[in-house]
Amino acid sequence: MALPAFSVKPYDYNSLWQVPMDRALSAWNVTPTPVWITKSSSAKSIIVAQQYPGKTWFGLYTPHGSKPDRYFDIKLNSLEISKATTNFDKFVQYNLVHELGHALSLIDNPVTSQVSIMKYGVDFNLYYVPQQYDINDVNNYYN
Ligand SMILES: [Zn+2]
């Protein structure tokens, strides 16, 4: 995304999904960054949670268009995410916080010894909100 403030089209799922998905947006919005994610029916960016048979990823971020009119879709793979045996809601939240990190220009698996929501294999039981490293990364990018 070109901007840290953007809207996504409203989504409507059962509370098992809706609640942790909304928490993921809030988790970014409360960070001390310029991030402000809202829902708007006119938004071009979408977040979808559904089954993607044969796909092993948990979440997928795909940008469209070019700056400054870039938008995205984020897919959450309910088949794979539902395999989480503990803390399902935290796992949903973790995955959406991570994918929204991509929408905020963060890259996968940053080289750092610090905890990051963008690192592969991060323990979602403990880390499901943006970490200090991620907050600094966003501020470095947008400030
Ligand atoms: Zn990623």
pLDDT, tens digit, 9 for 90 and up, residues 10-30: 999 999 999 999 999 999 999
CA–centroid distance, 102 to ligand 1, in Å, is 7
In this prediction, residue 102 carries a pLDDT of 96
3-state secondary structure of 8: strand
Distance 41 CA to ligand 1 centre (A): 26
Q: Which residues surround ligand 1, an ion (CB under 5 A)?
A: 108
CA of 10 to the centre of ligand 1 (A): 22
Instruction: Express each pLDDT in 73-129 by its tens digit.
Output: 999 999 999 987 789 999 999 999 999 999 999 999 999 999 999 999 899 999 999
Task: List, in sequence order, every beta strand (DSSP E) within 69-119.
Answer: 71-77
Spell out the domains of the chain, with CATH numbers in brackets.
5-142 (3.40.390.10)
pLDDT at 1 over 70: no
The structure tokens 């949903």 sit at 92
**Confidence at residue 67, expressed as pLDDT on a 0 to 100 scale:** 75
119 Cα–ligand 1 center, Å: 8
Residues near 9 by beta carbon (within 8 Å), at least 6 away in sequence:
39, 40, 41, 43, 44, 45, 46, 47
Q: What is the pLDDT of residue 92?
A: 97
Burial bucket for residue 107 (CB in 10 Å: 0-12, 13-18, 19+): exposed
